[in-house]
Structure 1
Amino acid sequence: MSNASLSQNKLKYLSAYSQKVQDQVSTMLAMDSLGEFIIKKYPNVHNIKNDKLLRQYVLDLKQRHLKKSAPLSKVIYDKKIHVVNNALGLHTFVSRVQGSKLKSKNEIRISEMFKQAPEAFLEMIVVHELSHIKEKNHDKAFYQLCEHMLPEYHQREFEMRLYLTQLEFKGAIY
């Protein structure tokens, strides 16, 4: 695929980045070097392949960074999440009145596509969704919490976007 063709097929995961960055990624795609770049930096996929292991992984991160936050009622991989919501993970918060009390439930759903990804990308998505327990909006406080939990959060997010771009244009690399 040529750079001109890539430019016409918008790099949707990188649309917020500068044209220079998008051009560099287009060149890497055209030269079939984007996948190599990702594999060199993240050579292995994780072994967190089922909901039980994912739940434990999420709870371990939550315990390390958000000890006093609300509990999670559900943590699962969701095969519909990427297609239906155009998202990679979802945090849902439901409040219900039970008698005279207000009960809330927090759930985290991670796109099933992350079963076959480097742990660094799974960790970035989990940190993002855990941050929503305390900060509902994507604002300054939200991203500060993400960076507190994962100091290289923004770099990981960018590289995860590169990974998604590779998947979209060239297919799986692992």
Structure 2
Amino acid sequence: MSELTYLAGYPESILSQVEQLLAQQKLTAYLQNKYPKVHEYSTEKRLYDYVVGLQRQYLKKSAPLSKVCFDGSLQLVHRALGLHTYASRVQGNKLKAKHEIRIGKVFQRAPLEMLRMIVVHELAHLKEKDHNKSFYQLCCHMEPNYHQLELDTRLYLTHLERIGPLYA
């Protein structure tokens, strides 16, 4: 079985199903049937509005976001789908935090469900810094289908790596 980079840590049963989809050339059909179109948040302004809308809906008391953007260097540098960063600065006698969310540029042309999964994941880091039980409970609160979407997003990345772009 060849290495499935984005599916490391998944059970052998899932990995063999993915290998079978690849061998039978059915991964494209699976993804296109389940996710027929790309999202409409391709500009950074629209992405920011989308992310802040989800933040207001689910995390009303969380820190404001200073920046939300697509970042072309994420995949290469961090091997990450998205990244939540914060920097603390002293202003007078107060400590101010600046929060940013960066999403891999490969998701600029991806299904909305996958973008939402990544945004939910990064927003959850505003409340929970570590990937613990509370973190994943918060993710599932914001997106009940979180775990399936995470798997499908990894399948999408596998498709990009092995076959190429899903959408023209």
Range into which the TM-score falls when normalised by the shorter chain: over 0.9
Q: Which runs of 5+ in 1 are unaligned?
A: 1-6
TM-score normalised over the length of structure 1: 0.94
Amino acid at match of 2:4: L
1:113 matched to 2:106? The reply is yes
Q: Which residue of structure 2 aligns with residue 126 of structure 1?
A: 119
Of 140, 164, 172, which residue of structure 1 is paired with 2:133?
A: 140
Amino acid at match of 1:64: Q
Deviation at 1:21, TM superposition (A): 1.1
Q: Which residue of structure 2 aligns with residue 53 of structure 1?
A: 46
1:82 matched to 2:75? The reply is yes
Poorly superposed stretches of 4+, deviation over 2 Å: none
Q: Which residue of structure 1 aligns with residue 31 of structure 2?
A: 38
Deviation at 1:79, TM superposition (A): 1.0
Q: Which residue of structure 1 aligns with residue 17 of structure 2?
A: 24
Q: Which residue of structure 2 aligns with residue 71 of structure 1?
A: 64
Measured on the aligned residues, the alpha-carbon RMSD in Å equals 0.8
Q: How many residues align?
A: 167
